[in-house]
Chains A and B, each alone.
Chain A
Amino acid sequence: MKYSYFPGCSLKGTGRAYEESLLPVLKVLGVELEELDDWNCCGATAYMAVDEVKACVMASRNLAIAEKAGHKELLAPCSACYLVLNKTKHYLHESPVVEAVVQKALRQANLTYSGNTPVRHPLDLLVNNVGIEEIKKHVKHPLKGLKIAPYYGCQIVRPYATFDDQYNPTTMDRLLEAIGCTMVTYPLKTRCCGGSLTGTLPEPGLLCSYILLKEAITRGADVIATVCPLCQFNLDCYRDKMKGKWGHETIPDPRNKDARVPVGPHLDIPVVFFTQLIGLAFGLSEKELGLQRGFAPMRKPACAQRQSAAA
């Protein structure tokens, strides 16, 4: 099946590694993508907060272009895009007022939108269209022994939980287990990463990110896997600031249950996109998957190294 593909700004910028890993993985699985011609800003959370209708206009231009392109479904990997596009569809459906403004704006650009293009997330597509069994067939180097904290962030399950549970999503868990990883219990799966607060009100924003890192570490994760460019950015890019603020706090020593150690040095846990892990298991190189872009280097798990050496 062929899908329209809406990368959004993140996948071309700070979240480049997401696109770099998503495209080759889908290629291996035989999923064809066609990038939308002349796409624009999705309308994003920032816009939504200022003027919802204008944000809907932005988003619906992309939906209209997708409809014109003729593929039935639109893939939106970035959580913010995914949410805004879905929210716009919802508003167009529910509110005649919003719909009238949007259609008027679209007409001026010689576009129309019927409201029928499903907006899909890669997790949804991989689990429900490609299928776990199919994915397993392509695994060359199972990531045995790699302990993952699966972190979904908020936007793909709230407010619309379309393909996964709102409180305890499991699609990424199932995907990563299929490629050999072990999930640690991570009850913070959908907790806030701090969002854009890290830029505007750093104190509470950074605290949100810090909690997520610290909890993944105390639960013994080697890697945090995420689906969202903003989450990945927040968790990956402010480690120095976090170390400065909270590095002295102690956590139970992973090696000795009764002792406590400062959290600081442990904060360098890699934060990667789930597609990068799938790519590794498929035998793609670290470079191809953009793994060098992370601030905390992600080393291949020992087993994968051994196997790729043997191969």
Chain B
Amino acid sequence: MDKVNGNHDVRIGFYVCNCGTNIAAMVDVQAVAKYVAALPNVVVSRDYKYMCSDPGQELIQKDIKEFGLNRIVVAACSPLLHEHTFRSAVEAGGLNPFFFHMVNIREHDSWVHTDRDEATAKAKALARAGIRRVARHRALEVKKVPVHPDVLVVGGGIAGIHAALTLAKSGKKVYLVEREPSIGGHMAKFDKTFPTLDCAACILTPKMSEVGAHENITLWSYSEVVKMDGYVGNFKVTVRRKPRYVLEDLCTGCQECISHCVYKEPKFPDAFNEHLGKRKPVYIPFPQATPQVVLIDPEVCLNFRRGVLTDKCKKPCVEACGDRKAIDFKQKEELKEIKVGTIIVATGFKTFDVGRMPQYGYGRYPNVYTALEVERLVNASGPTAGDVLLRDGHHPKSIGIIHCVGSRDKNTNRWCSRVCCMYSMKLAHLLKEHTEAEIYNFYIDIRAPGKGYEEFYDKLLEEGVHFIRGRVGEVTDWAFIPEEEGKLVIRVEDTLAGVVRRIPVDMVVLATGLEPHADAQNVRRLFNMSCGTEGFFLERHPKLAPVNTFTDGIFLAGCCQSPKDIPDSVAQAGAAAAEALVLIDTGHIEQEPNTAYVVEAECSGCKSCIPLCPYTAISLLPDKKKAYINEALCKGCGTCVAACPSGSIVQNLFEDAEIFSEIDGLLEPTSV
């Protein structure tokens, strides 16, 4: 037995908190203090109104000095709330902060019981367990790990752009990795933005060019993260750069190659225009694309056959490029490895797949459109230059906008997508402006809870846009009366008028909800994050840690966390950047020492712990054939400790001696 753990030298101070009446009303705190005072090794035992207050903490510090205490137990609320407070107090009093133990007699006792005597007996038992345990505590050291100052931002929508710029402006080096050929995300497709109707391009493109030009930002578009190792402050990330067949450093964005392509006319569906327009095999996604670099689509370029280089084309593009020599048909994908200290994930959303609701006729009736398609259709730089020309060649005289397609629906997605009411009203306004058509909105509730949003709704009502409350049953083309012939008929129960209505229109717009990306689960695994039931990335705390994830050093911004509008995405991106800055500017992180370690002499190298570790912290030392736990990665979950067949893994703060003493204390009969 060593001296400190051999009981005779242990001098414990015990404090039971009244927490106003939160505890004192159900637990006889004086009785608890009196009871504990008589336990072995206890030198001082007191009750106090608010232990977490400054005087409460000073009380502990004074007693440490006066009575030579070397262990402290506080019986109060949950350690989640105040363990840190008391450890700091104990440290300020001159002790190792881990010579402290906290007993929860509020959430675990006073709040959940109704019999004062029994609750008091329980408090005594819990306190006794804590007293027994703390005697076994060892001094532990908080380790400091340096934080690499560079940051990775994944996803170049408005959220990723804003986060990257914020960090770059404060002098940090940022890697911005975007999957598509250009940054901009969904916002780049919009004509105007609600509720102010300012031009989306006018407010977005300056930020995009700033990203492109900023010396602190390395922009890798057309790229994806394929691997991440390491831990907070020290991530090692591998990025795959897909070949554009155009050398980014040499291309000036003059687009001569595009005009000289053997295809005289654009022929292939253009994804940026939601397939409403066409592009050539060599193209730039949209005029303001950042970076201003063209790319070649090997699936359709004549110099390839099904993606494989054949060199069969005359290549007028290469000739047009001339001395710049920017076109390189032999370009291969590249893997880049980078080191960063923090990561911001801002991968955004995808819109609901309308094929899942065949009753709305998308794909069957040409004049049924998704909202994103309409964003392109009303856009001056869109495929029709802003002319709302339907697929059947007509201009619409009446338009129905169906809200909540793939939102608030038990059969598809249960959540509200938050932006669809607002963007539907925006599109209603723009369509009216472009076509002078009669416009009908079909809604469940109008959700306009943002600054200036309700006023926007009022404005729409004044403009004479119709609002019909009811979830649409179907869109069909069967005519009940001759006037309906050749129209799309929207069948809906008007729940305000209490009648079923048939509204014939020329054009239907489906306000599709926001969903997690199809590959969200992969991205989640890549970055060791969690997803909620809907598949959006999970924040650490819905109120108090909304941009943190459960992995330290990885933060969330924008719609990948939940559907939200541009103002909220930008605000969250700023918050995520600030969280990253805290880590970078602190320069190091402190690690909770509740990590596990392997007693090498006892480890048989059976490897059974390795696959169990949720944080991939365990590896096998190749030379010694023993398990090794990377302290920086270990989160102290204890899984390996419990699973080790030879009992050779020990976890700080949860050593066998500590836990067994606690159990003994708990089970000993209360003799008062």
Residues of A within 8 A of B (CB): 165, 167-168, 185, 187-188, 211, 215, 218, 250, 252
Contacts and interface: CB of A to CB of B under 8 A. Distances in A.
A165 B485 contact: no
Contacts of A211: 478, 480
13 contacts: A167-B357, A167-B358, A167-B359, A168-B359, A185-B364, A187-B361, A187-B474, A187-B476, A187-B478, A188-B478, A211-B478, A215-B478, A250-B482
Contacts of A250: 482
Contacts of B476: 187-188
A249 to B, nearest CB: 9
A167 B474 CA distance: 9
Interface string B354-376: 00011101001000000000000
B94 to A, nearest CB: 64
B100 to A, nearest CB: 52
A250 B361 CA distance: 26
Interface residues of B, number: 13
Contacts of A252: 485
Nearest to A188: B478
Interface in B476-491: 476-480, 482, 485
A165 B478 contact: no
Given A165-B358, A167-B357, 14 more contacts: A167-B358, A167-B359, A168-B358, A168-B359, A185-B364, A187-B361, A187-B476, A187-B477, A188-B476, A211-B478, A211-B480, A215-B478, A250-B482, A252-B485
B226 to A, nearest CB: 37
A20 to B, nearest CB: 32
Contacts of B479: 218
B353 to A, nearest CB: 14
Nearest to A167: B359
A188 B474 CA distance: 11
A167 B491 CA distance: 14
Contacts of A165: 358
A211 B481 CA distance: 11
Nearest to A260: B482
B475 to A, nearest CB: 9
Nearest to B411: A166
A181 to B, nearest CB: 20
A168 B364 CA distance: 11
Nearest to B481: A249
B402 to A, nearest CB: 14
Nearest to B473: A167
Nearest to A207: B480
Contacts of A168: 358-359
A218 B477 CA distance: 12
Contacts of A218: 479
Contacts of B358: 165, 167-168
A187 B359 CA distance: 9
Most buried by B among A167, A185, A211, A218: A167
Contacts of B359: 167-168
A165 B357 CA distance: 10
A185 B476 CA distance: 11
Q: What 4 A-B pairs are tightest by C-beta distance, nearest first?
A: A167-B359, A168-B358, A187-B476, A167-B358
Contacts of A185: 364
Most buried by B among A187, A250, A252: A187
Interface string B468-509: 000000101111101001000000000000000000000000
A167 B482 CA distance: 25
A19 to B, nearest CB: 32
Nearest to B486: A252
Contacts of B474: 167, 187
A215 B479 CA distance: 8
A160 B479 CA distance: 28
Contacts of B357: 167
A211 B478 CA distance: 9
A252 B486 CA distance: 11
A167 B477 CA distance: 15
A256 to B, nearest CB: 15
Contacts of B364: 185
A61 to B, nearest CB: 33
B566 to A, nearest CB: 34
Most buried by A among B364, B478, B480: B478
Interface string B439-479: 00000000000000000000000000000000000101111
A250 B479 CA distance: 12
B357 to A, nearest CB: 8
Interface string B163-174: 000000000000
Contacts of B477: 187
A218 B474 CA distance: 20
A205 to B, nearest CB: 16
A211 to B, nearest CB: 7
A188 B359 CA distance: 11
A168 B361 CA distance: 10
A56 B47 CA distance: 65
A148 to B, nearest CB: 17
A250 B477 CA distance: 17
Contacts of A167: 357-359, 474
A13 B83 CA distance: 79
B472 to A, nearest CB: 12
B114 to A, nearest CB: 32
B145 to A, nearest CB: 54
Nearest to A187: B476
A137 B357 CA distance: 35
B510 to A, nearest CB: 14
Contacts of A188: 476, 478
Nearest to A215: B478
A220 to B, nearest CB: 13
Nearest to B365: A187
Nearest to B360: A167
A185 B358 CA distance: 14
A171 to B, nearest CB: 15
B508 to A, nearest CB: 14
A161 B547 CA distance: 41
A252 B485 CA distance: 10
A185 B364 CA distance: 10
A165 B364 CA distance: 15
A122 B296 CA distance: 52
Contacts of B361: 187
Nearest to B359: A167
Nearest to B480: A211
B451 to A, nearest CB: 39
A218 B479 CA distance: 10
A187 B365 CA distance: 11
B152 to A, nearest CB: 43
Nearest to B478: A215
Interface in B341-362: 357-359, 361
A211 B480 CA distance: 8
